[in-house]
């Protein structure tokens, strides 16, 4: 038996969350085309069965926020999530967007530890955007230079480029770092994922499982629900609104257990989960956009999110949404920290719960059960409403 942690590192929009979802076979990370969609470390667990000549393994993948230069307290918190993911890992995947790099003239060498990224002089005949891209690529490479574990170069989105462009891209990156393996994939089309898993197992240390065999994420259900609501905000609003929005689930009332769960097509109603969530934004103008004329935008966000949540929970859902202005919350360390569900669990462990509501750990359904039926562990967590 082999087991270990594999951190997925990369620039915004490289496809990290898409890769995680594809490997797990469940949607545990929200995905949009907007940068910095992921704000927290997200763990997904994959069981790799034993085959002839190959050990069984449990791989704990850790999705991280996109690597970027922090500008706000929220950005700094996101980068802290990246640093922490790199501290406790057995393997690191550097995920590179083949489509983006096929358009760039070069990959820069990593800067030295003492060199300020902001002061790197721009080269002539290069756009400001291309220059910023190069600086942040150097930042990513600087992070992996300090690692003492195997680093895989995984080139994503190969379905969007001409295959002939891959070899020069591989050569450019390989000249900057000695990668343990180089693997081209398409996370969206699930191309190359089996080969990636096989190679990862070869490098993992021997050890027992870190999580129960049927568990596929460490996230509480209420955090997944909050993320699904935030995903709809990202998809249905533009400009600054998606980045200035945060979602907190304040009430999560599970239905009473029933002896015989209703089956699809049986005519019996599924049990009802009642959820109340707050969408925080920073300005009254953003609040007006989120609510929309006559409440139309908020209704649209809620209706779409409710369908996703019902699919996740396997129940009917009654969803209430409220919008509150919390000025400049992205610069508030207290507020940003309060959004981390791990902090909520720590608060409970220290005897400071604000409620006794459950935080249910999402697990894979047993064979024969509906695809979205979730097993649950009765771990308590405080409700949060940071002000």
What SS3 class is residue 46? strand
- For position 117, what pLDDT does the model report? 40
Q: Give the integer Cα–Cα distance in Å for 69 and 222.
A: 30
Give the containing element (helix H, strand E) for 131. helix 128-145
Query: What percent of the chain stands above pLDDT 90?
Result: 62
- For position 266, what pLDDT does the model report? 61
- For position 111, what pLDDT does the model report? 47
pLDDT band at residue 296 under the 50/70/90 scheme: very high
Tell me: the pLDDT tens digits for 116-130? 344 344 455 556 666
Whether 357 has a pLDDT exceeding 50, the answer reads no
Tell me: the pLDDT tens digits for 147-196? 999 999 999 999 999 989 999 999 999 999 999 999 999 999 999 999 99
- For position 366, what pLDDT does the model report? 35
- 223-258 b/e (C-beta count within 10 Å ≥ 16 → b): bbbbbbbbbbbbbbbeeebbbbbbbbbbebebeeee
pLDDT band at residue 134 under the 50/70/90 scheme: confident
Q: Give the integer Cα–Cα distance in Å for 272 and 310.
A: 9
Residue 3: CB partners within 8 Å, gap ≥ 6?
Answer: 57, 58, 59, 60, 204, 205, 207, 208, 209, 210
- For position 138, what pLDDT does the model report? 85
What order do you get walking across the sheet with 316-325 strand by strand?
246-253, 272-281, 316-325
Q: Give the integer Cα–Cα distance in Å for 15 and 27.
A: 14
- For position 14, what pLDDT does the model report? 93
Instruction: Fill in the DSSP letter of residue 36.
Output: T
Domains and CATH numbers, the chain: 2-203 (3.40.50.300), 215-380 (3.30.300.20)
Tell me: the pLDDT tens digits for 9-68? 999 999 999 999 999 999 999 999 888 899 989 999 999 999 887 889 999 999 999 988
Q: Give the integer Cα–Cα distance in Å for 192 and 184.
A: 7
Question: Considering only CA atoms, which of 149, 159, 192, 157 is closest in space to residue 23?
Answer: 192
Q: Give the integer Cα–Cα distance in Å for 66 and 78.
A: 8
Q: Which class for 276: exposed (0-12), middle (13-18), buried (19 or more C-beta within 10 A)? A: middle
- Position of tokens 């005949």? 125
- For position 58, what pLDDT does the model report? 97
What is the pTM assigned to this prediction?
A: 0.81
């Amino acid at each position: 038996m082999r087991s270990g942690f594999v951190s997925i590192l990369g620039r915004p929009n490289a496809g990290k969350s898409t890769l995680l979802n594809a490997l797990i076979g469940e949607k545990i990370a929200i995905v949009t085309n907007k940068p910095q969609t992921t704000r927290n470390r997200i763990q997904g667990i994959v069981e790799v069965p034993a085959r002839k000549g190959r050990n069984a393994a449990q791989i704990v993948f850790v999705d991280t926020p996109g690597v970027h230069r922090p500008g706000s307290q929220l950005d700094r918190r996101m980068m802290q999530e990246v640093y922490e993911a790199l501290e406790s890992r057995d393997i690191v995947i550097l995920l590179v967007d083949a489509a983006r790099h096929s358009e760039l003239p070069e990959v820069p060498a990593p800067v030295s530890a003492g060199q300020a990224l902001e002061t790197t002089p721009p080269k002539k005949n290069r756009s400001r955007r291309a220059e910023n891209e190069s600086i942040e690529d150097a930042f990513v490479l600087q992070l992996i230079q300090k690692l003492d574990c195997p680093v895989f170069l995984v080139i994503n989105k190969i379905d969007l480029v001409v295959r002939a462009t891959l070899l020069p891209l591989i050569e450019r990156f390989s000249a900057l770092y000695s990668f343990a393996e180089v693997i081209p994939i398409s996370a969206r089309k699930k191309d190359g994922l089996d080969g990636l898993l096989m190679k990862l197992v070869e490098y993992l240390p021997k050890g027992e499982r870190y999580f129960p065999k049927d568990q596929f994420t460490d996230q509480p259900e209420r955090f997944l629900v909050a993320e699904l609501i935030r995903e709809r905000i990202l998809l249905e609003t533009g400009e600054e609104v998606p980045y200035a929005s945060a979602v907190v689930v304040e009430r999560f009332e599970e239905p009473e257990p029933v002896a015989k769960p209703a089956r699809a097509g049986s005519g019996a109603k599924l049990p009802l989960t009642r959820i109340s969530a707050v969408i925080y934004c920073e300005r009254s103008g953003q609040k007006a956009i989120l609510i929309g004329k006559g409440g139309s935008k908020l209704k649209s966000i809620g209706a779409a999110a409710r369908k996703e949540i019902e699919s996740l929970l396997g129940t009917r859902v009654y969803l209430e949404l409220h919008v509150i202005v919390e000025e400049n919350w992205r610069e508030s360390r207290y507020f940003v920290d309060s959004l981390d569900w791990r902090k909520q669990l720590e608060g409970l462990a220290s005897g400071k719960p604000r409620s006794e509501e459950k935080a249910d750990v999402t697990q894979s359904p047993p064979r024969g059960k509906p695809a979205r039926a979730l097993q649950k562990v009765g771990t308590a967590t405080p409700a949060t409403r940071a002000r």
